[in-house]
């Protein structure tokens, strides 16, 4: 379950900090899954705009999605 997976992850982090004297360095470079999904959706929308030759101004996405024509 998610609870036991989280508990194990915390135990491994604490073990490495105590036994191996490693500092805890959270993975800041990784995006959360929700953010990754949102980025994929934005990229898919950009591709569809290009595929169907729609001007971003026609649908009002130019400022929202940061698309330059």
Q: Write the pLDDT tens digit of every residue in 22-49.
A: 998 877 666 677 788 888 999 998 898 8
* Predicted local confidence at residue 50, as pLDDT: 85
Q: Can you give the residue ranges of every domain in the chain?
A: 2-59
d(Cα 18, Cα 46) in Å, to the nearest integer? 47
pTM reported for the whole predicted model: 0.40
Contact call for residues 67 and 61 (beta carbons, < 8 A): yes
Strand ranges for the chain from DSSP E:
none
């Amino acid at each position: 379950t998610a609870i036991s997976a989280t508990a194990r992850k915390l135990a491994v982090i604490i073990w490495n900090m105590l036994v191996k004297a490693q500092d805890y360095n959270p993975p800041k470079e990784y995006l959360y899954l929700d953010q990754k999904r949102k980025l994929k959706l934005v990229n898919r929308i950009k591709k569809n705009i290009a595929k169907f030759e729609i001007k971003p101004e026609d649908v009002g996405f130019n400022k929202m999605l940061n698309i330059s024509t």
